[in-house]
């Protein structure tokens, strides 16, 4: 399962440039090709636990700090950068599946602030 912070609460919304402060997150399930949009009620790193509970293993994000990175990695999830262009969650997942996205790690997280 994949997740990304979204600009609006619509399934076809673009991925936003914020992470913890994003108002919405989209969760894509490739098993049935569905997207579920959930509100980010905490507006902070607590959303990571909710994504994990929903079965997310991969997060696609344009911005992330060091502390959220540590939380994501401690929960066994991975992070990838979908690029600067406007993309929906489905478009970003397609790029991920083609091996076109760069993984966000402790070594390069400073590039994604």
Interval 16-55: pLDDT, tens: 999 989 999 999 999 999 999 999 987 777 899 999 999 9
What local confidence, expressed as pLDDT, does residue 35 receive? 96
113: confidence class by pLDDT, cuts 50, 70, 90: low
Q: Where are the domains of the chain?
A: 2-112
Instruction: Give 58's pLDDT tier (boundaries 50, 70, 90).
Output: very high
State the CATH architecture for 2-112: 2-Layer Sandwich (3.30)
Provide DSSP, the chain: -EEEEESSSSTTPBBPS-STT-SEEEEEETTTTEEEEEE-SS-STHHHHHHHHTT--EEE-S---HHHHHHHHHTT-EEEE--SS--BHHHHHHHHHTT-SEEP-TTTGGGG-
pLDDT tops 90 at residue 2? yes
Provide the whole-model pTM: 0.93
């Amino acid at each position: 399962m994949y997740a990304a912070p979204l600009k609006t609460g619509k399934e076809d919304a673009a991925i936003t440039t914020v992470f913890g402060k994003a108002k919405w997150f989209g969760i894509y399930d490739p098993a049935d090709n569905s997207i579920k949009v959930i509100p980010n009620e905490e507006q902070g790193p607590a959303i990571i636990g909710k994504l994990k509970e929903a079965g997310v293993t991969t997060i696609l994000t344009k911005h992330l700090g060091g502390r959220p990175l540590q939380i994501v990695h401690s929960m066994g999830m991975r992070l990838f950068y979908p690029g600067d262009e406007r993309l929906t969650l489905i478009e970003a997942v397609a790029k991920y599946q083609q091996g076109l996205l760069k993984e966000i790690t402790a070594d390069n997280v400073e590039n994604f602030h």
